[in-house]
Amino acid sequence: MTDVKNKYETIFIIDKDKTEEETAEITEKFKALISANGELEGVDVWGKRRLAYPINDKNEGFYVLANFTAGVDFPKELDRVYGITDGVIRSIIIKKDE
């Protein structure tokens, strides 16, 4: 049986009230998680930006974009970890077309 790998793009938004150290820790946590379960192709830290609409009464967040290749089961686990991580206010994972 072949191990199917897909290309994905994920963006997560960290609460702007987190300190720089906490923001860096959360970013490194997800970089390590992605690297351990797939191949991290690149991380683009967008920094603090205005949200399109308020989330939890907040108007700004710290954006991080990551591109990676992983097996088909990993995005579900990544989404679960986003959901239980304190400081991540929103995230999305998109499968990229070949």
CATH of the domain at 88: 3.30.70.60
The pLDDT of residue 97 is 83
**Is a pLDDT exceeding 90 seen at residue 63?**
yes
Q: Which amino acid is at 63?
A: Y
Domain containing 53: what range? 5-95
Check whether 27 has a pLDDT greater than 60. Answer: yes
The amino acid sitting at 48 is K
The C-alpha angle 90, 72, 81, rounded to 5 degrees, equals: 35
| Cα-based distances in Å from 31 to 10, 49, 59, 91 | 11, 21, 25, 14
Q: What is the pLDDT of residue 1?
A: 43
- Give residue for tokens 């192709």: 41
Mean pLDDT of 59-83: 96
**Dihedral pair phi/psi, residue 4, rounded to 5°:** -75, 130
**What pLDDT sits at residue 2?**
54
| Domain total in the chain | 1
**pLDDT bracket for residue 92 (50, 70, 90):** very high
